[in-house]
Amino acid sequence: MRFSTTLPAALSFIGTVTADFWACDIQPGIQIFPADVRLESVSNQTLTCSHSFDAPKVLPVGDTSYDWWYFDAVADDGIQSLVVVFMQKGENSDFPGPAFTAYVQITGTLSNGTAFTETIPVDQGIVSTSGFGSNGLWGNSNLSWVGTPDLSEYQVRLDAADGTITGLFTLQSIAPPHGPSGSVGPGQSLELMPGVGWAVSIPDAVATVDVNVRGRRLNFTGAGYHDKNWGSTLFTPNVGGWYWGHTHLGPYSLVWLDALTQVQDEYANGYIALDGEIVRSGPRFHDGVPEGFHITADLGDAGVLEASVRYTVVAASFTSYGRWAGIINGTIASTTTNSTVESKTYLGVTHYEIFNLF
């Protein structure tokens, strides 16, 4: 699988860190992980187990750690979008974004393409796990998510205490979960790159959004996604930049992430599912702001996928970070039994982002 970019011109604590905490020691069921200050060692989960795929991965929240749950949706028109991030990070974490240790950030684009950003600081985040899934509650407001044990459905409820943000955001999964090494079976690595974890609970979903943000309504169906990232140490020494995105294209679900360390070592990862079955997933071992991406993937007997992503709207723009919603055009070319080439063309929607910390 090859990924290429199209460029315009070209929670708080001091202590030690240990790896593989309770990797498979916690029993399935409901577990509570309060994001409070604890003067003890920070543990960082780097391997999968037979449950708790979407659970907190850094315990307790460390002085420089970060652990977040990301949910998004992009409308079928490629314009409207919604992203909700539930964040826990240490007081001295250098992760780009608000300085709060626990917060919910809500960004997106309205039907006219106007982007919005809302950040709600809270005093704590609480996460419970059940099976592979998780449930979260941030602060005293009803800013929360509920996930099924089999990762088949998530609901994100937004009900800010001051009434400025209300509504419901639902994801119904249509593609199996995956990690950096592809499989989510026990004992698989969760490291995307040294020091950074990645777990994709919902690579593709039917998303339904009905949310009001300061009197502006987002009401659409489209493609959705949910993952989480984490690390027990500072983010910027490990990450120089990355390009990430996901898309729904006809019967195909695609996720890609191409990351660079500060010394330019590259870690690329891709995932393709066809009608809910994984076709390709796993790793292979640029700066500037991308206008889009071109993706080429050999799917074996299914043919060769060629897809081009172009952005429609800028969904978020911050220092060192940007996110876009857009349209993807793709073609599947395969050779028939009589040696003729058959092509099928699909149109879909996409969300993608860039970190640039160099």
Where along the chain do its domains lie? 2-10+13-356
Contact predicate 49/150, CB 8 Å: no
pLDDT digits (tens, 9 = 90+) for 159-195: 998 899 999 999 999 999 999 998 898 999 999 999 9
Residue range 57-93, pLDDT digits in tens? 988 778 888 999 999 999 999 999 999 999 998 888 8
Read out DSSP for 196-240?
EEEEEEEEEEEEEEEEEETTEEEEEEEEEEEEEEEESS-STTT-S
Classified as helix, coil or strand, 302 is helix
Give 285-302 pLDDT, tens digit per residue.
333 445 566 778 788 888
Contact 118, 105 (CB under 8 A): yes
Over residues 9-63, the pLDDT tens digits come to 223 223 333 344 444 655 455 555 555 555 556 788 899 988 899 999 988 778 8
Among residues 204, 11, 238, which one has the least CA distance to residue 103? 11
Nearest to 54 by CA among 124, 121, 154: 154
Contact 230, 42 (CB under 8 A): no
- Segment 96-110 mean pLDDT: 88
pTM value > 0.85: no
Residue 92 tokens read as 């001295």
